[in-house]
Chains A and B, each alone.
Chain A
């Protein structure tokens, strides 16, 4: 059965710290892995990693895909209170009826001043 597992479940850091979030997956026909940030309401898209694009960076956020280890990490450097959120990763399952995303359980990050 395809699955996506995130760790840790939650963490608390102080402003300026660096955080590293993990996402591991077991899927057939891997195509891509996506990261989302969810603050109070709807998830918003951060990155998509594929076999041809295994590293992405945007400001203080960066993500790497390790296809050998079937995992990805999301790094946030110089954290700010605005980084407090749930971070979700997802992997598409390729189906004849159309792809569908399977999400991990999320990592809740709290950044204290």
Chain B
């Protein structure tokens, strides 16, 4: 079991460029999440998907879109990157609801927007 995998591990973009962060889990989990982590800010939820076919906004959704491609995969897209989106991005999954079941995190993607 690989758990939660994310690609790429690192990325540098120029302002205005677009990219998609990929996330996949092999634990047959229903719920998946995208977080960003900035220094001193803890983890902030961008979007989440409680089950296949559903997505909803978190605390900081502006500038991002998501796709729950199937039960395994949940991608995060930056359509026009901005320096404020420089951060570390974590994908997570849980079998059931957040706070009921443990969330498992991927290794993260470090994104720099110049």
Contact = CB atoms under 8 A, between A and B. Distances in A.
A binds B: yes
Interface of A: 4, 6, 9, 31-32, 34, 41-45, 48, 88, 90-92, 94-95, 97-106
Main secondary structure of the interface of A (DSSP, over half): strand
Contact of B99 (A9, A44, A91): A91
A102 to B, nearest CB: 7
A92 B100 contact: yes
B58 A43 contact: no
Given A88-B42, A98-B54, A32 B90 contact: no
Nearest to B48: A100
B105 interface: yes
B56 A98 contact: yes
Interface in B11-69: 31, 33, 35, 40-45, 48-51, 54, 56, 58-59
Given A41-B108, A45-B103, A100 B90 contact: no
B97 interface: yes
A34 B99 CA distance: 7
Contact of A101 (B49, B54, B103): B103
